[in-house]
Structure 1
Amino acid sequence: MAQTQEIAGAAPDVPRPRSGGWPAVVAVAGATFTVVTAEMLPVGLLTPIGGALRVTEGTAGLTLTVTGLVGAVSAPLLTPALGRFDRRPVLCGLMAVLIAGNLLAAWSPHFAVMVVARILVGIGMGGVWAVAAGLAVRLVPKRSVGAATSLVFSGIAVASVLGVPAGTYIGELADWRTAFVTVAGLGLVVLVALAVLLPKLPAEQEIRLGGVMRLVGDPRVATGLGVVVLLVTGHFAAYTYVRLALEEISGASASAIGTLLLVYGVAGVLGNFASGTGASRSPRGVLLVISLVLATTVGLMPLTGGSLVTATVLLAVWGLAYGGVSVSAQTWLLAAAPEAREAASALFVGVFNGSIALGALVGGLAADGSGIEAVMYLGAALAVGALAVTALGRAPVSGPC
């Protein structure tokens, strides 16, 4: 088909390397975990970052918006630009950019420097995520591709739900600058692991930007991306300001917030693996459940979250549902475009991170303009929209092989 011709170059069939295997898959999962942790890190640190850099919490939330926007643009642009290069040095180089961004963030004397630092994080994050998403199939035998792909994507999901509480704990034990230095150190460990464990990974295809964008014309791809926009925007409109919600609605102390976010994170990890198993059979079914649960829990937070016990339950269910979003949505898109894995992944990363940026932005506007309860209702309404698109849009027949 024409779409495939736009994406594939002269060498679509590159033999899988005989080395790499599960240690390499673990290294790639470590990379996805690190870059998404770096992206999410400010969420649990907005209050101290805002205080130190003398900006409002809504403005401090722009540290997430900037990174998401840059990641959204860099993923579909870097994938074609780096298409001819071996993936091992590409991943190592992108991890180095991420490390530099986190060190600069830790040093930031004022907000402008922090913005530059978060731009670097966005470049590294968007590129690593887009490249890593299609590597599992090249590192393990065919019978293990499904499990390896789930492991790579679990790095994204686990970071989304554990990166924030980890950063919050480090911020409470030391300070927010130490949290950024810690992530930079983790990035260095992962860079070394990638350099040592990955085999040579020459480009499978010559990917053109036009071919990446043409995938949007496929109704199955477009539906999947629409669900991502609504779910992720809604989630991050609310979750970017979850610390503020727990402080104002539930009356949680700083030490209790770290524990509550850890509960959220553990639930999210469980949700990732449970959803990954289900999505391989029916990505639509899993995303319907996720959308319904997110709409309910986020909407109930301002209504029933005044009790710390109730807030803990809602946060745990919220994490359980959101933990499955990335693996389920990625499974949908890989099934919708099996002939263009890396291009579909680049689109997914771009839309996902653009939605993170949009969510942080509209959440910040709502928080500064109407208060934290309005932020929760906004998140719930967008999840209802995702439920409708998932139910009515065109879905792939099944998960990827």
Structure 2
Amino acid sequence: MERLTVTPFGGRAVTAGLLASQAEAARPAAWQRFAKWELFRALCVARGAFGVSDRDLTVLNALLSFHKADHLEDGENLIVYPSNRMLAERAHGMAESTLRRHLAALVGAGLLLRHDSPNGKRYVRRDGTGEVVTAFGFDLRPLLVRAPDIVDAAEQARAEAEALRTLRERVVLIVRDAVKLLVYGRDAGLSGTWDAWDDALRLMQRALRRKLGFGDLQVIEDQATEVLSALKEAVVPVSEAVSDAVEKTQDIPQETEEMSGKDSDSGRHLQTSNPETSVSELSPEKGRGGGSDSAPPIPLVLVLKACPDVLDYARRPIETWGDLVDTADFLRGMLGISPSAWVEAVTHLGACNAAVTVACILQRADQIQSPGGYLRSLTMRGAEGAFSTGPMVMALLNGNGRRAA
């Protein structure tokens, strides 16, 4: 098909950009054939690199729909010639003045070329066999010539979008961790500049509601990482205290089926077959102090029998006192018991007794309005030697939990 002119119709002047676009479109195509809709989708991804908008692409989509073949193939007729009315219909009813503006943008971006007729109309001339001799309209060949550039730009845009998405996810997670630790530390009554950290995190959360670029996200990441680091330092002492207490329970010997019944032995005799066993036989002497990490004066199997609900929260079978302490440490947050209340209980009652107490509180959760306050009250009594977990467990076993402790 012959191209008859290189100059635009009417008042549009020849420019250096126009001549450069024509020279670019005239060079050999690196890819002789390419699927037009695949190329269009790649251009949608890479539109920023070519300076075109989504509305420009709407018009290009309409133009491509007038090209009957599924591929753009070099050497074939790549000129489409719809009227403005037909083009506007396929561009979702776009006004003609708007249509002309977007067509000019596509030409200016070097993605289209105008091939104007003598009167500025778009039409085609065919020979006797129906073959196209001359067509006047918009030439799609620049798209085929620039296909390698479009595909490369699309791949780069996808990689940048993925990097931006990954960075944003990382920033959101850092901010989330910092917010959770802030709430944890503040509720625990630890020392720290909580208000300053709170203000900084709120500003970060507000900024993350907007669509931010890579550079802005990196700035927030640095700020959030700094706040998170400070928060970790503030709450680590509490975490280490609980961890140390849990580790100590691993060395506690487990009870055996046979226990000495002599008064001179330190162990207490437990006749489990008798449900009416006196709770006084299970209580340690008052004034002994609750800070010991020795096993409570009652077998673990009876604690689990009295407090079966705790088994539902265990991350592994409760076979040792250490397993019970680990489960209680996990469970206390669900009961609304603050980290500081748990640490005080571990410190004054011992890790095992603190765990038994939490298990009993869970079993009576429907009767206790404030589990955290109740645990603190029992801890204070235990520190004075006025509270033992034995009566509390036995009360539950005897169905008398309402009067326990």
TM-score (norm 2): 0.21
RCO greater where, 1 or 2, for CA within 8 Å and sep 6 or more?
1
TM-score (norm 1): 0.21
* Structure with more of its chain in helix, by fraction: 1
Greater gyration radius: 2
